[in-house]
């Protein structure tokens, strides 16, 4: 390939192991922004430059630059944190960011609207409670997902430890983060090495998740690298390794598509890190560094062929994959309310609408979670569905926790199944990629959809509904039963055909619909579903059985048909 | 035609001649240029070059020295000079900033016209002479005969203090006062005219410099020298312009509503230089005038007399009389009318009276202390409407046919009622796009860019005080000046009121703004102001000064004082100087015209 390297590759190389000119950018008081190159480098440090798009135009008319703020995403493997950590996270969000927290679909939390002069204080603040944001964004391994399985307590602990180990093992080794934000000592030139990544890191972001069947809440097939925990008698015996999943597409570019990860085979637990590293280095060396749209691992595997890729990984890891073990998934959502773990402790899954932790009239999630964290002695787990589990509650504290959750509107009770299974990304006004609303609009659309399912007697039907403001897929709309992908203000592509367990992709059903168009299309489909469905049949399965929708079988070939 | 447009191809003069003309005219004010044009016209009418007026200045020359900040003292001085000239007197009208103080001992006749600012301070241009005269080493002035005219604002505590200083000190030095000190208030024109008339009569009576035949002939031969023919636009002869743009440059949630205003300027008729201010004649809010009429129970159609003119009372209130800046004298007059004990007590306490007047409009006085009065009494109580001055935020080198202003809309509450500033309300709320208004250029010779474009400058401004620096940078960019520029700006919030942020960013990108220091007072827990910023960067500040930088300060008086203190402190610390030595260092900056202040 003789195409020139993508500009980002040159920026990475010039950055001297991710230092860039971040220090100079931070010191520049004339602007709330950082330099253009630094906006690429900052991602590796966990933050994106954004601006308030609601006010971009009027600020320009006032001769003011955009209202720049930064989104910082923490690294929190498996989404687990302690109440003490939560209190610190909450305090920083209230004082140094826009007053809210956002729980993400990758089990982390992110701050929005951090002003440049406050960035350092935010990073130092989370560092005080042993949390960092290294690789929160950027072309490296991102936050590692892990099923927050509260029931199988011992198994969860074992699997969670692997999530942490993978995250640590694939962490960049550069001291840039410590040097710039934590005032660590400068490393003399030439001493620094990135044994896994090299000086240009990966061609593109890289996502890893661990699922514990039968739950697929992590959407393990949507990840570049997936591990499906195989347990025998409650003990971990190994993982089915998956590779090549990914959600992002580019509008109008038919060479891009969402893709489910392929199975590579089964490995024993002690082979986990070697396999993870081998997949990463294969992608490092063979991924496309010319065209970022073609740079994710899914395209590398398509180009190489699965067998060649598997052989490459086996060679690099010096292992041989055993045949994958059979697995069975039953759901991709959260189990709300109280469940009891095998160790006798209780776990309460709370409902956080769109993952936004904020105080609003009659809905004081932020205060509520803070109150809970003050009395809670177990841990808190952010779920891949943007919710929060208060985990490890002894029987005697259940009443207190539940009372607080109820007082602050954190319980799932009273919400429809439709709403409880909904996911939406952040989108406007902060996300620079957004083409349409998501978080701010989704609740209203859900209210209309609730009327619709009610009308067809489907109010109790489980229906995974997800919305994103652009085709990049942060809320994984390509694995929903009903997905909305933003195309333009007020316009969405309607994606249908997921199976509710995250193992089948959606297909475009109607393009560029406004709200009336969405409701119209779903009204008719749900009507037919209500009349003709089989017992326990899900909506996506029905659409495919009746031929309304053709399933996506090989997205590289048939996704755009 | 603008000077910059002159070229040898389009005119009968050759290149060297053209350069000579341009050099000669380079730093002249529009008034001076107008005078020269008249002079040259006179020359061409005579048909041959006049004798160069290089003969020794007669001993009896009268020096008219003016110390002006906003151009008022200068205007009176020039008018007086013109009248004296017409009478055939030998006069020289000089800005105090261009006057060598040591020459004073050799003078015979001196007329001093000087304004007072802030808390009794002289204008920048008078600083050197004022310091010299007040100093212990000032020479005896036994030969000198003098008269002093002061311009000031009697609503301030130290009314005409600088004029008082000159008048007393010259006498102490042995000079002889031939006219008593005349202090003029903001509506100075009548008093100043009367004083000028008396001065000329006194000079004649005292036998100063009988006009010679030759000089009379000279005057006759130079009709253009009389300012009346090519008279530029001035305060009493304003230029009619129109509003082209009214743009808010703070966010909606900012405390201050600051507007960027663009006015049309025909470059043939309106010339200004960076640092100058624009005087704006405004009209009072008709709603406010009606409120006054209603409260006073008067008919707006009642005819009243104002300066020999007859007009309706309502029109007078809108166009001719001061309604928004309440003067202490108006309160005193009102007290005599209403006679309440409360008001009488207030009037007897000057400090309280000034504070009271300072935060109220006339209608508030009416509402709080109602009284019956007739139209002539009302008109007699109110002061004549005065134009307001705004620093110009653009350079004609960049935009020849526009004038930019940075206007903060003055909004406040009195006893729960909303009040709007007179001129700022007129400019930003009542004046529509393309509506006409009358303006004039108020020269500010003590706030000029250094002549040498390579000289570094430090520009310190808070709030709308940043306006002239926008003009400075435009000018330096247009001229290709290479001197380094350092902007020190303070305001409340980075995100809400960083005035002209995009302009500064563009200037930096263009390589023009080498250093920017910012102080936003409400962004953090600690209130940071420009003076803190200067202290923090004391080392660089001192280095720049040592390299010959000019220092500019524009903004409120309190900020000017705080910056001055910070400056003394920095110079003391960085230069390892004691208090007196640091003060001398700063005084030397002023004497060298490197420390420029425009405070309001």
**pLDDT value at residue B307:** 85
Total domains present in chain A: 3
Statement to judge: residues A397 and A423 lie in one domain: no
Active site residue A142: yes
Q: Say yes or no to pLDDT of A469 above 90.
A: yes
pLDDT bin (cut points 50, 70, 90) of residue B233 is confident
What residue has token string 């004691």?
B578
Spell out which residues of chain A touch residue B536, defining contact as CB-CB under 8 Å: none
Which helix (H) or strand (E) segment holds residue B75: the answer is helix B72-86
Q: What is the pLDDT of residues B366-421, one digit of tens each?
A: 999 988 889 999 999 999 999 999 999 999 999 999 999 999 999 999 888 899 99
Give the model's pLDDT for residue A376: 97
Q: Is the pLDDT of residue A294 over 60?
A: yes
Q: Could you tell me the CATH number of the domain that includes residue A427?
A: 3.30.413.10
Rounded Cα distance, B138 and B125, in Å: 19
Please indicate, yes or no, whether residues A278 and A175 belong to a single structural domain of this protein. yes
Does the beta-carbon distance from A63 to B501 stay under 8 Å? yes
A1 found inside a domain: yes
**Of A412, A443, A465, at which residue does a domain stop?**
A412
Q: CB distance B249–A64 less than 8 Å?
A: yes
B16, containing H or E segment: helix B15-25
More confident call, A256 vs B219:
A256
Distances (CA, A) of A452 to A456, A484, A515, A516, A521: 7, 16, 13, 12, 11
User: What is the full DSSP assignment across A333-363?
Assistant: S---EEEE-TTS-EEEEEP-GGGEE-EETTE
The predicted structure's pLDDT at residue B48: 44
Query: A352 and A498: one domain?
Result: no
**pLDDT, mean over chain B:** 87
- Within 8 A of B503 by CB-CB distance, chain A residues are 63
Task: Among A305, A333, A361, give the residue marking a domain's end.
Answer: A333
Q: Is the pLDDT score of B212 beyond 50?
A: no
Residue A17 has pLDDT above 60, yes or no: yes
Nearest by CB: B502 against A58, A64, A115: A64
Q: Does B503 touch chain A (CB under 8 A)?
A: yes
Q: What pLDDT was estimated at residue A9?
A: 97
Same domain, A407 and A538: no
Query: Domains plus CATH for chain B?
Result: 62-215 (3.40.50.360), 239-282+387-442 (2.40.30.10), 286-381 (1.20.990.10), 457-599 (3.40.50.80)
Q: Does A27 touch chain B (CB under 8 A)?
A: no
Asked whether the beta carbons of B393 and B260 are under 8 A apart, the reply is: yes
Q: Is A501 in contact with A332 (CB distance < 8 Å)?
A: yes
What is the three-class DSSP state of A100? Answer: coil
Strands A80-81 and A145-146: unpaired
Helices (H), B457-537: 467-479, 501-509, 530-536
Three-state DSSP state, B420: strand
pLDDT tens digits for range A83-96: 999 999 999 999 99
The helix (H) or strand (E) run that includes residue A42 is helix A36-44
Instruction: Give pLDDT, residue B45.
Output: 46
A270 inside domain: yes
Query: pLDDT, tens digit, for every residue of A127-145?
Result: 999 999 999 999 999 999 9
Quick: pLDDT tens for A516-560.
999 999 999 999 999 999 999 999 999 999 999 999 999 999 999
A366 and A270 within one domain: no
Over range A112-135, report the average pLDDT.
Answer: 96
Give the nearest partner residue to B505 out of A31, A115, A117, using CB atoms: A31
The pLDDT value given to residue A141: 98
Residue A551 resides in a domain: yes
Q: Which one of the listed residues A75, A205, A296, A419 is annotated catalytic?
A: A205
Q: What is the DSSP string of A121-183?
A: HHHHHHHHTT-B-TTSSSSSB-PPEE---SSSHHHHHHHHHHHHHHHHHTS---SHHHHHHS-
Domain end point (choices A362, A389, A412): A412
What is the pLDDT confidence band of residue B18, given thresholds at 50, 70 and 90? low
CB within 8 A of B213, min separation 6: which ones? Answer: none
pLDDT digits 0-9 by tens, B295-309: 999 999 999 999 889
Residues A355 and A269 in one domain: no
A294 and A375 share one domain: no
CATH of the domain at A354: 3.90.480.10
The answer as to whether A273 is a domain residue is yes
**3-state SS, residue A492:** strand
Give the range among A384-393, A477-486, B88-97, B487-496 with minimum mean pLDDT: B88-97
User: Could you tell me which residues are beta bridge partners of residue A379?
Assistant: A391
Query: Do A63 and B503 make contact, defined as CB atoms within 8 angstroms?
Result: yes
Give the DSSP H or E segment for A513. strand A507-513
> Hey, are the CB atoms on B249 and A55 less than 8 Å from each other?
no
User: How would residue A408 be classed by pLDDT, with cut points 50, 70 and 90?
Assistant: very high
Catalytic residue among A207, A259, A466, A507, which?
A207
Active-site position among A204, A470, A476, A491: A470
Decide: B186 and B153 in contact? Cβ < 8 Å: yes
Asked whether residue A36 is domain-assigned, the answer is: no
Q: What span, in angstroms and rounded, lies between the C-alpha atoms of B152 and B134?
A: 20
pLDDT in tens, B436-476: 999 999 999 889 999 999 999 999 999 999 999 999 999 99
Q: What value does the mean pLDDT take over residues B240-257?
A: 96
pLDDT category at A245 given cuts 50, 70, 90 is very high
Three-state DSSP at A475 gives coil
Q: Which two tokens stand for residue B192?
A: 């100043």
Side-chain half-sphere CA neighbours of A536 within 13 A: 1
Beta-strand pair B457-462/B485-491: parallel
Contact B518, B493 (CB under 8 A): no
Evaluate whether residue A263 is within a structural domain. Answer: yes
Distance CA A303, CA A297 (A): 10
Q: Could you tell me if A377 and A453 lie in one domain? A: no
Cβ distance of B502 and A117 shorter than 8 Å: no
Report in angstroms the alpha-carbon separations of A491 from A191, A256, A450, B373. 52, 21, 20, 68
Of A327, A333, A380, A363, the C-alpha closest to A78 is A380
CA distance B147 to B150: 10
Best mutation site among A54, A63, A65, A113 for testing chain B: the one with the most B CBs within 10 Å? A63
**Distant-in-sequence, close-in-space partners of B168: CB < 8 Å, separation ≥ 6:** none
- pLDDT of B557 > 70? The answer is yes
Active site residue A487: no
Alpha helices in A345-504 (DSSP H): 365-375, 398-407, 417-420, 442-455
In a domain, A111, yes or no: no
Classified as helix, coil or strand, B273 is coil
Taking CB atoms and an 8 Å cutoff, what residues of chain B touch A62?
A: 247-251
Q: What value does the mean pLDDT of chain A take? A: 96
Burial degree of B114 (CB within 10 A; 0-12, 13-18, 19+): buried
A31 chain-B contacts, CB cut-off 8 A: 501, 505
What are the DSSP E strand ranges found in A224-345? 225-232, 235-243, 262-267, 337-340
Is residue A272 over pLDDT 90? yes
pLDDT tens profile A181-191: 998 877 655 56
Q: Please give the residue range of the domain that contains residue A552.
A: 418-558
Active site residue A205: yes
| Cβ–Cβ below 8 Å for B495 and A30 | no
Show which of residues 102-141 on chain A sit within 8 Å of chain B, judged by CB atoms: 115, 117
What is B166-206 written as a DSSP string? Answer: HHHHHHHTT-EESS--EEE-SS-HHHHHHHHHHHHHHHHHT
Across the interface, which of B251, B516, B523 has its CB nearest the CB of A62? B251
């Amino acid at each position: 390939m003789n195409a020139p390297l993508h500009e980002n590759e040159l920026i990475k190389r010039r950055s001297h192991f991710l230092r860039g000119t971040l220090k100079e950018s931070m010191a520049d008081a004339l602007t709330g922004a950082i330099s253009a190159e630094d906006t690429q480098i900052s991602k590796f440090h966990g933050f994106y430059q954004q601006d308030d798009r609601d006010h971009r135009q009027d600020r320009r008319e006032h001769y003011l630059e955009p209202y720049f703020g930064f989104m910082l995403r923490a690294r929190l493997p498996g989404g687990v944190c302690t109440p003490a950590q939560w209190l610190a996270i909450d305090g920083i969000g209230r004082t140094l960011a826009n007053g809210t927290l956002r729980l993400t679909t990758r089990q982390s939390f992110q701050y929005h609207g951090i002003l440049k002069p406050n960035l350092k204080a935010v990073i130092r603040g989370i560092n005080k409670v042993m949390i960092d944001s290294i690789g929160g964004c950027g072309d490296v391994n991102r936050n590692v997902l892990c099923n927050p399985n509260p029931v199988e307590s011992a198994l969860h602990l074992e699997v969670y430890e692997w999530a942490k180990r993978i995250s640590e093992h694939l962490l960049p080794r550069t001291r840039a983060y410590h040097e710039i934000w934590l005032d660590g000592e400068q490393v003399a030139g030439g001493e620094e090495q990135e044994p896994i990544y090299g000086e240009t890191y990966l061609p593109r972001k890289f996502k890893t998740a661990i699922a514990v069947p039968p739950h697929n809440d992590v959407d393990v097939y949507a990840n570049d690298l997936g591990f499906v925990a195989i347990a025998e008698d409650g003990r971990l015996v190994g993982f089915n390794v998956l590779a090549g999943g990914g959600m992002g597409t580019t509008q109008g570019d038919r060479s891009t598509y969402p893709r489910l990860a392929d199975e590579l085979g089964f490995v024993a637990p002690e082979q986990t890190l070697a396999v993870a590293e081998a997949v990463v280095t294969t992608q490092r060396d063979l991924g496309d560094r010319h065209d970022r749209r073609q740079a994710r691992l899914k395209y590398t595997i398509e180009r190489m062929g699965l067998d060649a890729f598997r052989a490459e990984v086996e060679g690099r890891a010096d292992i041989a994959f055993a045949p994958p073990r059979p697995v069975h998934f039953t759901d991709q959502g959260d189990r709300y309310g109280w469940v009891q773990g095998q160790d006798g402790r209780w776990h309460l899954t709370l409902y956080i609408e769109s993952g936004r932790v904020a105080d609003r009239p009659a809905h004081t999630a932020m205060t509520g979670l803070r109150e809970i964290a003050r009395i809670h002695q177990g841990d808190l787990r952010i779920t891949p569905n943007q919710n929060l589990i208060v985990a490890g509650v002894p029987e005697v504290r259940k009443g207190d926790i539940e009372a607080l959750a109820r007082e602050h509107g954190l319980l799932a009770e009273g919400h429809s199944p439709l709403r409880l299974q909904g996911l939406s990304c952040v989108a406007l006004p902060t996300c620079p990629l957004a083409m349409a609303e998501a978080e701010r609009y989704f609740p209203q659309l859900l209210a209309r959809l609730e009327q619709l399912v009610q009308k067809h007697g489907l109010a109790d039907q489980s229906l995974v509904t997800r919305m994103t403001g652009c085709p990049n897929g942060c809320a994984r709309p390509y694995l929903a039963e009903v997905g909305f992908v933003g195309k333009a203000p007020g316009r969405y592509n309607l994606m249908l055909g997921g199976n509710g367990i995250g193992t089948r992709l959606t297909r475009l059903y109607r393009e560029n619909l406004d709200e009336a168009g969405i409701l119209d299309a779903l009204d008719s489909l749900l009507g037919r579903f209500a009349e003709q469905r089989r017992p326990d049949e899900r909506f996506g399965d029905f659409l495919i059985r009746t031929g309304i929708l053709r399933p996506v079988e090989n997205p590289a070939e048939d996704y755009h048909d | 035609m603008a000077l910059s447009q002159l070229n040898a191809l389009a005119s009968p003069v050759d290149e060297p001649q053209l350069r000579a003309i341009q050099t000669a005219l380079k730093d002249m004010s529009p008034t001076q240029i107008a005078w020269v044009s008249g002079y040259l016209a006179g020359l061409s009418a005579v048909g041959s070059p006049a004798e160069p007026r290089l003969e020794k200045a007669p001993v009896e020359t009268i020096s008219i020295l003016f110390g002006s900040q906003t151009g008022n003292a200068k205007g009176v001085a020039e008018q007086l000079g013109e009248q004296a000239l017409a009478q055939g007197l030998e006069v020289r009208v000089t800005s105090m900033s261009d006057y060598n103080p040591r020459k004073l001992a050799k003078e015979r006749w001196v007329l001093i016209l000087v304004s007072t600012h802030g808390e009794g301070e002289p204008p920048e241009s008078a600083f050197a002479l004022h310091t010299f005269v007040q100093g212990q080493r000032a020479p005896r002035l036994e030969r000198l005969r003098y008269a002093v005219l002061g311009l000031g604002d009697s609503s301030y505590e130290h009314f005409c203090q600088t004029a008082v200083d000159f008048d007393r000190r010259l006498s102490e030095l042995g000079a002889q006062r031939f006219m008593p000190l005349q202090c003029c208030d903001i509506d100075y024109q009548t008093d100043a005219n009367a004083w000028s008339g008396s001065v000329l009569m006194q000079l004649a009576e005292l036998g100063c410099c009988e006009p010679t035949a030759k000089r009379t002939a000279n005057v006759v031969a130079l009709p253009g020298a009389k300012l009346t023919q090519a008279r530029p636009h001035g305060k009493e002869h304003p230029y009619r312009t129109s509003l082209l743009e009214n743009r808010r440059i703070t966010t909606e949630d900012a405390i201050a509503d600051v507007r960027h205003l663009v006015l049309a300027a025909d470059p043939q008729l309106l010339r200004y230089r960076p640092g100058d201010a624009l005087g704006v004649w405004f009209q009072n809010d008709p709603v406010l005038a009606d409120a006054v009429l209603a409260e006073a129970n008067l008919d707006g159609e009642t005819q009243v007399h104002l300066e020999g003119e007859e007009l309706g009372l309502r029109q007078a209130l809108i166009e001719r009389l001061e309604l928004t800046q309440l003067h202490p004298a108006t309160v005193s007059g009102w007290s005599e009318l209403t006679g309440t004990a409360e008001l009488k007590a207030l009037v007897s306490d000057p400090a309280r009276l000034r504070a009271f007047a300072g935060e109220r409009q006339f209608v508030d006085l009416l509402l709080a202390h109602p009284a019956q009065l007739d139209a002539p009494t009302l008109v007699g109580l109110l002061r004549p409407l005065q134009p307001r001055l705004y620093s110009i935020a653009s350079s004609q080198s960049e935009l020849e046919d526009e004038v930019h202003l940075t206007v903060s809309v003055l909004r406040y509450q009195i006893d729960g009622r909303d009040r709007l500033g007179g001129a700022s309300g007129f400019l930003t709320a009542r004046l529509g796009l393309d509506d006409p208004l009358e303006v004039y250029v108020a020269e500010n010779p003590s706030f000029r860019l250094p002549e040498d474009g390579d000289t570094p400058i430090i520009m310190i401004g808070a709030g709308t005080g940043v306006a002239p620096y926008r003009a400075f940078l435009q000018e330096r960019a247009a001229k290709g000046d290479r001197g380094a520029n350092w902007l020190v700006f303070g305001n409340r919030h980075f995100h809400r009121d960083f005035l002209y942020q995009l302009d500064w960013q563009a200037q930096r990108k263009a390589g023009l703004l080498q250093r920017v220091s910012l102080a936003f007072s409400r962004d953090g827990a600690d209130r940071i102001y420009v003076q803190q910023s200067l202290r923090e960067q004391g080392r660089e500040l001192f280095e720049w000064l040592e390299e010959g930088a000019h220092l500019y300060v524009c903004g409120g008086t309190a900020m000017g004082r705080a910056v001055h203190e910070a400056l003394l402190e920095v110079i003391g610390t960085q230069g390892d100087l004691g208090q007196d030595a640091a003060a001398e260092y700063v005084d030397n900056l002023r004497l060298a015209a490197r420390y420029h202040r425009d405070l309001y």
